[in-house]
Amino acid sequence: MRSHNFLVFVYLAAIAVANLLVSRYGSAVAVVNSFLFIGLDLTTRDQLHEQWQGRALWPRMFTLIVIGGLLSLILGGSGRIALASCLAFILAGVADTASYRLLQRHSRVWRINGSNLIAAAIDSL
């Protein structure tokens, strides 16, 4: 159970740090956020997916994604950009969860990279 709590903390901390960096430095940190914190976030979510498999996976994932989205909204400031960030995060998280599940017959590396690629594309849109 401790491992779950730590991964949830890392997942939410990555979101918080990414949003705080954007709030402070603007789009200048977009590349760093994309490769470091968003990748960390998506990969951590994949690890939680594996640990929660069969134990209320979808309700747990949905709750985690919504909390992350709300955190994005709160830390992103106000206005349309904060709302867009929240929605993008939620859509990317759901896409990551669904695609990770669809890739379950493939190796772990394929599942992580495949689902992260799809989620990152949706987040970027």
Tokens 């498999």, residue? 53
Q: Is the pLDDT of residue 121 over 80?
A: yes
Task: Output 103 or 69, whichever has higher pLDDT.
Answer: 103
Would you say 67 and 12 are in contact if contact means Cβ atoms under 8 Å apart? yes
Band (pLDDT 50/70/90 cuts) for residue 78 is low
Compute the distance between CA of residue 113 and CA of residue 115 in angstroms, rounded to an integer. Answer: 6
Would you say 42 and 120 are in contact if contact means Cβ atoms under 8 Å apart? yes
Residues 87-111 have pLDDT tens digits of: 887 888 889 889 988 998 999 899 9
C-alpha closest to that of 59 among 48, 73, 47, 72: 48
Q: Is the pLDDT of residue 50 over 90?
A: no
Report CA Rg, the chain: 14
pLDDT score of 95: 92
pLDDT score of 110: 93
Max CA separation in the chain (angstroms):
42
Compute the distance between CA of residue 24 and CA of residue 7 in angstroms, rounded to an integer. Answer: 26
Q: Which whole number is the average pLDDT over 25-50?
A: 83
Q: Which whole number is the average pLDDT over 43-66?
A: 83
